[in-house]
Amino acid sequence: MEQRHLGRTGLRVSRIGLGTLTWGRDTEEHDAADMLKAFWEAGGTLVDTADVYGDGEAEYLLGRLMERLVPRRDLVLSTKAGSVPDPERRFDGSRGHLLAALYASLDRLGTDHVDLWHIHAYDAGTPLEETLQALDIAVSSGRARYAGVSNFCGWQLAKAATWQLAAPGTRTRLASTQMEYSLLQRGVEREVLPAALDLGVGLLPSSPLGRGVLTGKYRHGVPDGSRGASEHLAPFVEPYLDDTATRIVDAVTTAADGLAVTPLQVALAWVRDRPGVTAPIVGARTARQLTAALSVEALSLPDEICRALDDVSAPLHRYPDHDWSTL
C-alpha cells in the first residue's frame, strides 16, 4: 500500500487507515484479528482507536492482538482522549484528564508509546493553552511521537496551531486533524480543510463511506446486521438516509457501474485523493468488508467521474466563504 507523509512531518502512514470504533462491542475478537492481519499483510500501517471506543475494550483488544499477531513496530498506532461519559460534560480537555487518559490508554494497549495522539474534541470549558500543554508533555516525555486534534472547526484548528508556533518553549506542532469527510459530508471544505492545507496539517477523514451509506447497502432498506440496524448506532446512520443522500448514492452507483467497480471503491477513492487528505480511516466490521475497502488501492477515478461526483455532492458555500472577494 502506498505510504504518505502525515501533514508537514516526517511520519509516513498508509493511505488507508484501519478504524476500531466497533471493536470490543459489535466486532468480536476473531473478526478483529482477521481484519488486523489482512490490513497488515496488505501493507497497511495506520490503526486508529480511542479511549472511549467500546468503553476501553477496543484498546484492550488491539493490545492483545499486537502482542500475538502483528509486530508493534509495523504499526502507526493512533488513539484519542478527551471524550467523557458524562451527560453534563461531554468533553474534558484539562491537562490532568488528558494525561491520565493517555497513561490508561498505554496500559490497555500494552505499549510504552503511541505514534499519534489526538485530542478527541474541543473543550470550551478548558483554556486551549492548557489542552495544548498536555500534547507537549506527552510528546516531550516520549509517550506520544506526534500529536493532533479531532473535531476542531476551522478557527479552533487555526488558533491551536498558531498558539503552538508562538508559545515560548513549545516543541510540539499539530501533525493531523481527524474529521468526518465523505461525499455525504463535505462541511470540512468550508474552513477546516483550507486551514489544514495552509498549516501543513494532515487530514485523516473519518466515516469516509458516509457511515456506510455510500456502499449502497441502504438503498432498499436497512439490512440486518448493519450499523443502521444496531440499537446504539442507528442514530449515527439515520441522518444520511434522506433524499439528498439518496441522490448522491445513486450517482456513486452509476459511476461504479460504468467503471465496473463497487460503490464502496468509488466513494473511498474519491475522498482518499482529495487535496489535503492523508488517509481515510475505514471502520469495517468484518474482514470481508475491510478486504473490499483495501481493494481500492489500484483504483484512480477518471477526472470526469470526479467532476460529476463533485457536482452532485457540492455543499452550499456562500458568504463569507465565497463570492465576497469578487464583488
Q: What is the mean pLDDT of the chain?
A: 93
Is residue 136, in this structure, part of any structural domain at all? yes
pLDDT of 277 over the 90 cut: yes
- What is the pLDDT at residue 97? 97
Question: Structurally, how many domains does the chain consist of?
Answer: 1
Whether residue 44 lies inside any domain: the answer is: yes
| Residue 260 falls inside a structural domain | no
Average pLDDT over residues 108-124: 97
- Residue 128 maps to a domain: yes
What pLDDT score does 325 carry?
57
DSSP 3-state percent helix, strand, coil across the chain (nearest 5): 45, 15, 40
Residue 223: pLDDT band (50, 70, 90) is confident
23, part of any domain: yes
- Band of residue 323 on the pLDDT scale cut at 50, 70, 90: low
- Of 53, 181, 218, 240, catalytic: 53
| Whether the Cβ atoms of residue 284 and residue 35 lie closer than 8 Å to each other | yes
Give the number of other Cβ atoms within 10 Å of residue 191's Cβ. Answer: 17
CB 148 within 8 A of CB 175: yes
Residue 230 within a domain: no
Which pLDDT band holds residue 228 (cuts at 50, 70, 90)? low
Q: Which domain holds residue 59?
A: 3-212+274-300
The pTM (predicted TM-score) of the whole model is 0.94
Q: What is the mean pLDDT of residues 258-284?
A: 97
Q: What percent of the chain lies above the pLDDT cut of 90?
A: 80
Query: Residues 285, 226: contact at Cβ < 8 Å?
Result: no
Residue 168: which pLDDT band, with cuts at 50, 70 and 90? confident
Distance CA 293, CA 267 (A): 10
Distance in angstroms (rounded) separating the CA atoms of residues 243 and 251: 13
Name the pLDDT band for 317 (thresholds 50, 70, 90). Answer: confident
Strand locations in the chain (E)? 3-5, 12-14, 17-19, 46-48, 76-81, 114-119, 144-150, 174-180, 202-206, 281-282
Q: Does pLDDT of 121 surpass 70?
A: yes
CATH number of the domain enclosing 106: 3.20.20.100
53 labelled catalytic: yes
* 11 found inside a domain: yes
Q: What is the DSSP string of 138-193?
A: HHHTTSEEEEEEES--HHHHHHHHHHHHHSTT----EEEEEEE-BTTB-GGGTTHH
pLDDT of residue 44: 98
Instruction: Pick the closest to residue 265 from 277, 280, 246, 278 (CA basis).
Output: 280
Over residues 196-214, the mean pLDDT reads: 96
Residue 324 pLDDT: 63
Contacts with 84 (C-beta within 8 Å, 6 or more apart), sequence order: 52, 90, 91, 92, 97
- CA neighbor of 160 nearest in space, from 180, 134, 183, 142: 134
Rounded Cα gap, residues 209 and 45, in angstroms: 20
Query: Which of 86 and 13 is assigned the larger pLDDT?
Result: 13
Question: Regarding predicted confidence, which is higher, 193 or 224?
Answer: 193
pLDDT recorded at residue 159? 97
The closest alpha carbon to 78, from 58, 55, 57, 64, belongs to 58
pLDDT interval class at 273 (50, 70, 90): very high
Residues 67-102 have pLDDT tens digits of 899 999 999 999 999 999 877 788 999 999 999 999
| Residues facing residue 282 across a β-bridge | 18
226 occurs within a structural domain:
no
